[in-house]
Amino acid sequence: MDVLPAFLDHLTRERRMAAKTVEAYGSDLSFFLAFLRVHMGGEPSLAMLADVRARDIRAYLAERRREGLSDASVARILSSIKALYRWVDRAHGINNAEVGYLQGPRRPQRLPRPVSIDAARDLISEAESEPDQEPWISARDAAVLSLLYGAGLRISEALSLTGADLPAPERLRIKGKGGKVRIVPLIPAVREAIHSYAEICPWALTRDKPLFRGAKGGALNPRLIQGLMQRMRAYLGLPETATPHALRHAFATHLLANGADLRAIQTLLGHASLSTTQVYTGIDSSRLREVHAAAHPRA
């Protein structure tokens, strides 16, 4: 049995993971299986995976570290290997307890860096009135940034909208990572930004065509929005961390600061796991302490 293609097929068909995620697993594991081919002296198989010891995997990770890989990369590789073994256990009943107990290098938690409320407003306002831009392009840029900050969309999700999403509804259906669908409410300011753009866009925004267009009428390239943010943060004196994704972080952080429930934020962001959303609690711990003090009966 060819182990790797079967595992990747499982991730694609059953786990419904995004193509880039599956590609990353494939890259990590192809290097690992190539190492086993030499290290164990044979073609990787289910039987070989059962015979692999913790020391063999440590030897592989040490080899990758000598190649200059960071702790984060080594930890990701180990995570991929463990995922493979969990699948082998469930699908083929081959359990390798030693692999499950392996621990990777500790990684410092990296908190997302959102922009402030004032900075988010300024970014949208400046994009709307950027000099030397055609009015419809300025309106387009403001609408995209409004979706990132006002609805918490990923830039890829905002640019996946089509003319079928007009007029902008109160609740938008978004297909996110791994094909997961969620419903995102659109506040009036976001709907108005989209309406303003759609009214003056020179291209026909038909149902089957992208909503956001480039200067020549094709689909808007996300690099143009990244370049826009680069210009805006230079003009406003914002740090390099003020990226399009920082607006999505700001959406979540500012909701949390104003008392939104973490589970609700998880749903709005489209996170599969609450642990992914919980990273935002590290940003606004002062607000959480206030909520705890006000709500707990013994506080």
Tokens of 42: 């044979």
Residue (of 299, 298, 260) closest to 280 by Cα position: 260
Decide: 94 and 49 in contact? Cβ < 8 Å.
yes
65 contacts: CB under 8 Å, gap ≥ 6: 74
In whole angstroms, what is the distance from residue 130 CA to residue 116 CA?
20
φ, ψ of residue 174 to 5 degrees: the values are -120, 135
32 contacts: CB under 8 Å, gap ≥ 6: 60, 77, 80, 81
Instruction: Specify the residue for token string 């994704």.
Output: 245
272 Rama class: left (phi>0) / alpha (psi -120 to 50) / beta: alpha
Catalytic center residues: 154, 177, 245, 248, 271, 280
CA angle, 112 then 116 then 120, to 5° = 105
Buried-state track 80-100, b at ≥16 Cβ within 10 A, e below 16:
bbbbbbebbbeeeeeebeebe
